[in-house]
Structure 1
Amino acid sequence: MKSVASRRQDHAAIALPPVPHATPHAAARSHDLASWTAAALLVLLGLIWFGTLGTRSLIHPDEGRYATLALEMARSGDWVTPRLNGLLYFEKPALQYWIGALSFLSFGVSEFSARLWPGLAGFLTVLVVGFTAARLWGRETGVRALAIAASMAWIQVNSHFLTLDAGLTLFLTLALCAVLLANSGQPDARERRRWIWLAWAAMGAAVLSKGLVGIVIPGAVLVLVSLWRRDTSLWRGLHWASGLFIFLAITAPWFVLVSLRNPGFASFFFIHEHFARYLTEVHQREGAWWYYLPFVLFGMLPWTGALPWLLRKDSDEAAIAPRHLLSAWCVFVLLFFSASGSKLPSYILPMFPALALLVAMQLRNAQAGTLRRHLLFPALVWGLAALASTQSARFVSILSPAEVLAPLASALRIGAALMLVGLAISWWCLGRRRITAAVLSLALSQVTATAVVLQAHNAYGQLKSAAGIAAVLRPLITPQTPVFSVRAYDQTLPFYLQRDVVLVDFEDEFALGQQREPARWIPTLDGFVAQWNSLPHAAAYMSPFAWVELHQRGLPMRIVFQDPRRVVVVKP
């Protein structure tokens, strides 16, 4: 006979609900909630990301240059020969001009259309990073990697200005991630071949975006990894015949056509724009060997504190090969551009998606306490930025007036407040070991704070934009009125006037086009004076120094726009 205690245990056991039937439903609900949350956050990211693309004027030089090239291609219908301000321009390949022209034809001429491709390229880069991390290390790591990449300052900032580097970075990241996925786990031969083909196609698009760097970086990294690991298996699995066919099918048609139509293109493009640019200081963009180090530290925000993690060895054997490839990629990109005779901050952008993948990979084994200490660095940086913003009056000058610095100072304080809230939420989440929630909170606050500061940049950007000039000048001229650019040039002026201007005594990057088509410009100031005097009506953009010289020569001019950098006149 059973005891009372025994009978109670039996009764309790019978009364318990069948756990195996309840758990799958709860897990499914939890999975659905996580999926909807991730989707909502992605939509919110997209709204912040794309919502600010068209709210700032284009600025000189890069944004005006690439917007004008695309607009001229859209208007002329010549999709082979690029022209900048009506002059032949062969410094870069045509892919971004094509995409920009299609954007103008589809959505109209605007700042949003001009910046749509770099914005979209940056957003797609973030998605590629998240997808790759999810395939390699699981869904949760993929969500973290996406958030890390989206919030890295250098990825977000360079996706919101019109340059070639966001598009180049997208295609290089596609090539890198395709190779990672082709060599992960045990993919079947057909799947692996598709990933390798994607890598070849991405390298072709990278070359068509910015030139030989699109294949130099992936090729050099493969060499480094092979030497490091003493393993040539990566090279043996590249499907060279079909891969080269894909690469040439993408790149060769334009290069052949533009060379046939423009003798001398190949020499200028490959010798002057690649070897001379890299090996010499002909473009006057030199910098010290450590030039890029501050941009790495700033560009990784708010994840700069994770840099020491990247030196730790990973206990997961499956992560060793990706870690080697990603590390070699980052190191080579940094050293390659540091050794160049021509340096610009955006050149190292292709290393940041790889850094995001490395950080996400190391996060898998990070402790909540370690992550809490990581929050101190972005808190310090944003705190110092807010403190510096209170001293903006110290930075006022004739070239940076108070009314321009005030919005930036205010935005820094708002951004710091947003970051403080995000950091506090992340700290709270880490206290409960909710690492993914902490990563998302930190990332979203960084993205929002950076968007606020970018928006405030428009006041300063007006000093380097012709938007205001065009607004003043457009009602004063007709389509037949010639507009001159005298000893100075603003790359945004043709875009905002939606017409070419005649260069006067100014060469710079137009030298090739001016040599080929000398009738399209005026090489001397005397020639300009003679033509100005012969015209019934004309307008001119110039530096204050040029205006003083022309005023002393008695040239009839009426000033319609003036600031510390520029003077715009019309013939009275």
Structure 2
Amino acid sequence: MSRTCRYTLIAVFILASLLVLHVRTLVPPDEGRYAEMAREMFFSGDWITTRLNGIKYFEKPPLHTWMSALSFAAFGVGEWQARLWNGVCGIAGVLLVGYTGSRVFSRTAGLYAAAILASMVFWSAGSQFNTLDIGVAATMCISLCALLLAQRDDAAPAQRRNWMLACWAGMALSLLAKGLIGLALPGAVLVLYALLSGDRAIARRLHPWTGGALFLAIALPWFLLVAARNPEQPQFFFIHEHWDRFFLKTHHREGPWYYFLVLLAPATMPWLPLLPAGLIAARRRVQGQFQPRMLLLIWVLFILFFFSYSSSKLPGYMLPVFPALALLAGLCLEQASTRLACAPPMLLAAAGAAGMATVPASPLDGRLLMAACGVAVVGGLAGWLMVRQGRRAAMVLVVAAGAWAMTQFAMASYEPLGRRQAGLDLALEVRPELAADTPVYSVGAYEQSLTFYLGHTVIPVAYTDELGFGLTREPERGIASLSAFSQLWRRAAANGSPQFAIIRADLYETLRADGLPMRVRARNERVVLVSSR
């Protein structure tokens, strides 16, 4: 493939990945939560103490919030701006995997790995979904790829030093993206690799002193500053959000031990057939001291084991293994038989055909869902023909494009449900009437995306949940009981003061029966939006 063609493909991929960021409403809870945190950081100017709905919120480190707030500062507050960091992370991961594959293995393997990663369903979807997961996956991808580039046997001393510094920087960014896993997981993988490969000399090639200093320079300042301003933060963040989350079931996100193994099938579509062969081949030693395939294998298996053992499980937790899986799959595809190379396009076409049968009964946008199935079928069949004609590189690009487009159409088809879940129509009803000092109560519920679309924090009433820790430190930011809320509401209503409330549907009936003066402005299946006049 010529350089012009290669750069054209990269430009098209980047442009397409950025253009789709604006397609969907921010779906609660995660997309709304992290957009609102960034909005509040941007308007408050406080880049140290992270807040949600104006309340201290220390469940996660600040990197995602920082980047989204910077996006708001540069481009304004909006949906695609809230997702821009995710899109950049997804793109960066793909480009870094492609570059690493071409330098550590071969140019063909790098091309295949980049196309595979870009089109794996979870990576493609995660790059368009406003959560922390793609950020930690991309920063851990920096650590993984920089380590591979630094440790290859033909790396010059300066290259080894520079790439190892990039590896340490990636771990520091991972720590700021998600927490201690950013250091613990790569560190454990390195220890296991040294033990299993016999490459004990790798410890001397890590540049631990300069790398460790760089790591601390990047990661430590925020932790020191936030602890100085909020002495309660370290205990909550390191104990409750790390120790308790891993060993206890207090977060109610448990799943069976095989949770992530089951998810691998849809998550890696349509490249799943390549993974068993790629993982098995990684066990074989190659010439030279450094064993990159073994490192990739350990990376995949240990991270999956780690999160499988954890008491807290969510689908996005597995994203850090995808760059390693893509590199192994790209290597496998480069050497695969024609029969094995036919499997991904056939699987893509079969998935599209099977999906067509579900469209009539789906609550999603049927036209977009049918488009998703259609591009999968067309891309799969075209890819199969290309393999049969001996055009393997063309097959990879066509199947990758079909799988990527399938994912984007499928995500866009969720918009009718996503718009209702976000409460966008409720926000549009009253947003023009909201002044900065207008009280908006949230009774028995907290609608994550609705707060963002209102552009206004709310006063939680008889509700704690994830706001509970912050409310114990700042109880004046909430109202503990319905009776206290009713008294405030009646007093303001008697004075003619403007006020609004978002009330859980069942509690609305209770308050209406008590004679609370309310005018219904809008409602959905979960909440009722009212004003007092």
Shorter-normalised TM-score: what interval? over 0.9
* 2:532 alignment counterpart: 571
Structure 1 313/161 Cα, relative in aligned 2: closer, same or farther at 3 Å? closer
Structure-1-length-normalised TM-score: 0.89
1:335 matched residue in structure 2:
305
1:548 and 1:70 map into 2 onto residues whose CA distance is 34
Among 93, 101, 119, the alignment partner of 1:151 is 119
Q: Aligned residue for 2:336?
A: 366
The match for 2:49 among 81, 92, 100 is 81
TM-score, length of structure 2 as denominator length: 0.96
1:171 aligns with 2:139: yes
Distance 1:467 1:494, change over 3 A: same
Deviation at 1:477, TM superposition (A): 3.7
Residue identity matched to 1:79: W
Aligned 8 A contact 1:48 1:451 in 2 = no
Distance (Å, rounded) in 2 between the aligned partners of 1:549 and 1:512: 28
- CA 1:284–1:422 in 2, change beyond 3 Å: closer, same or farther? same
- Distance in 2, matches of 1:382 and 1:318, equals 42
- 3-state SS of paired residue (2:193): helix
- Greater Rg by CA: 1
> Mapping of 1:311-460 within 5 angstroms?
311-313=279-281, 317-318=286-287, 321-392=291-362, 405-407=363-365, 409-460=366-417
How far did residue 318 of structure 1 move? 4.7
SS in 2 for 1:561: strand
TM-superposition CA deviations, 1:195-229 (whole Å, max 9, x none): 11110011001001111010111011112212222
Q: Matches of 2:240 and 2:351 in 1, distance apart?
A: 41
Residues in 2 aligned to 1:161 and 1:370: alpha-carbon distance in whole angstroms = 32
| CA–CA separation in structure 2 for the residues paired with 1:289 and 1:189 | 43
State the Cα distance separating 1:420 from its structure 2 match.
Answer: 1.8
Residue correspondence of structure 1 range 272-311 to structure 2 within 5 A: 272-311=240-279
SS of residue paired to 1:160? coil
Summarize the alignment of residues 85-100 of structure 1 with structure 2, pairs less than 5 Å apart.
85-100=53-68
Deviations 1:96-120 (A, max 9, x none): 1111111001000000110000111
Once the two structures are overlaid, the 10-residue window that deviates more, 334-343 or 34-43, is 34-43
Runs (5+) with no aligned partner, structure 1: 1-30, 393-404
- Over 3 Å counting, the alpha-carbon distance change for 1:373 and 1:169 in structure 2 is closer
Indicate whether 1:463 and 2:420 are aligned.
Answer: yes
Alignment partners' CA distance in 2, 1:47 and 1:127: 14
Distance 1:510 1:433 in 2: 58
* 1:406 Cα deviation after fit: 4.5
Stretch of structure 1 that moved more, 179-188 or 102-111: 179-188
Are the aligned partners of 2:50 and 2:62 in contact in 1 as well (CA < 8 Å)? yes
**CA offset digits 1:440-480 (Å, max 9, x no partner):** 11001111121111112111111320322110111344333
Q: Find the residue that maps to 2:21 and give its secondary structure.
A: coil
State the Cα deviation string for residues 320-340 of structure 1 (Å, max 9, x = none): 811111111111111111111
Q: 2: distance between equivalents of 1:152 and 1:130? A: 14
Instruction: Tell me how far 1:539 sits from its aligned partner.
Output: 0.7
Correspondence for 2:148: 180
1:561 paired to 2:531: no
Structure 2 SS opposite 1:317: coil
Q: What residue in structure 2 maps to residue 271 of structure 1?
A: 239
Is residue 2:81 matched to residue 1:120? no
- Whole-angstrom distance in 2 between the partners of 1:545 and 1:333: 43
Contact 2:151 2:205 in 1 (8 A): no
Name 2:216's counterpart in structure 1.
248
Name which of 464, 468, 471 aligns with 1:511.
468
> Contact 2:123–2:319 at 8 Å: present in 1 too?
yes
In structure 1, how many angstroms separate the alpha carbons of the residues matched to 2:480 and 2:486? 12
Q: 1:305 to 1:539 in 2, by over 3 A?
A: same
| Amino acid of the structure 1 residue aligned with 2:519 | R
Q: Residues 63 and 492 of structure 1 are in contact (CA less than 8 Å); yes or no, is this contact kept in structure 2? A: yes
Q: 2:509 matched to 1:541?
A: no
2:248 aligned partner, one-letter code: T
CA distance in 2: counterparts of 1:233 and 1:124, whole angstroms: 31
Distance in 1 of aligned mates of 2:235 and 2:435: 40
SS of match in other structure, 1:53 = helix
Match of 2:358, SS state, is helix
Q: Deviations over 1:412-447 (max 9, x none)?
A: 321221122212221221122111111011001111
**Residues 489, 542 of structure 1: 8 Å contact kept:** no
Partner amino acid for 1:469? L
Deviations 1:66-107 (A, max 9, x none): 111111111111111111111111111111111111100100
Amino acid at match of 2:423: A
Aligned-partner Cα distance in 1 for 2:445–2:45: 29
Deviation per CA, 1:129-154: give whole Å up to 9, x if none.
10100111222222211111100111
Task: Give distance in 2, aligned partners of 1:266 and 1:78.
Answer: 18
Task: Tell me, in whole angstroms, the C-alpha distance in 2 between the residues paired with 1:76 and 1:537.
Answer: 24
- Residue 543 of structure 1 aligns with an amino acid whose one-letter code is R
Distance in 2 (CA, whole Å) between partners of 1:554 and 1:543 is: 16
Deviates more, 1:234-243 or 1:484-493: 234-243
Indicate the RMSD between aligned Cα atoms, in angstroms.
Answer: 1.6
Write out the 4+ residue segments of structure 1 that deviate beyond 6 Å after TM superposition.
none
Per-residue CA deviations over 1:344-401 (Å, capped at 9, x if unaligned) read 1111110111100000011221122321244322222222111122333xxxxxxxxx
Q: Which amino acid aligns with 1:486?
A: V
Distance 1:471 1:311 in 2: 51
2:477 to 520, 523, 537: 520
Q: In percent, how many aligned pairs have the same letter?
A: 39
Q: Would you say the 8 A contact 1:48–1:448 is kept in 2? A: no
Q: 1:555 corresponds to which letter in structure 2?
A: L
CA distance in 1, matches of 2:22, 2:367: 21
Which stretch shifts more, 453-462 or 319-328? 319-328
User: Any residues of structure 2 matched to 1:217-236 within 5 Å, and which?
Assistant: 217-236=185-204
Return the alpha-carbon distance in structure 1 between the equivalents of residues 111 and 272 of structure 2.
19
Aligned-partner SS, 1:480: coil
SS in 2 for 1:185: coil
AA matched with 1:452: F
Looking at structure 2, the residues matched to 218 and 312 of structure 1 have their Cα atoms a distance apart, in angstroms, of 21
CA contact 1:169–1:350 (8 Å) conserved in 2: yes
* C-alpha separation in 2, matches of 1:73 and 1:374: 44
Following superposition, the deviation at residue 289 of structure 1 comes to 1.3
Change (3 A) 1:406 1:350: closer
Asked if the contact 1:131/1:142 (under 8 Å) is kept, the reply is yes
Higher mean alpha-carbon deviation, 372-381 vs 501-510, is at: 372-381
Confirm whether residue 68 of structure 1 aligns to residue 50 of structure 2: no
Following the alignment from structure 2 to structure 1, what is the Cα–Cα distance between the partners of residues 47 and 250?
A: 29
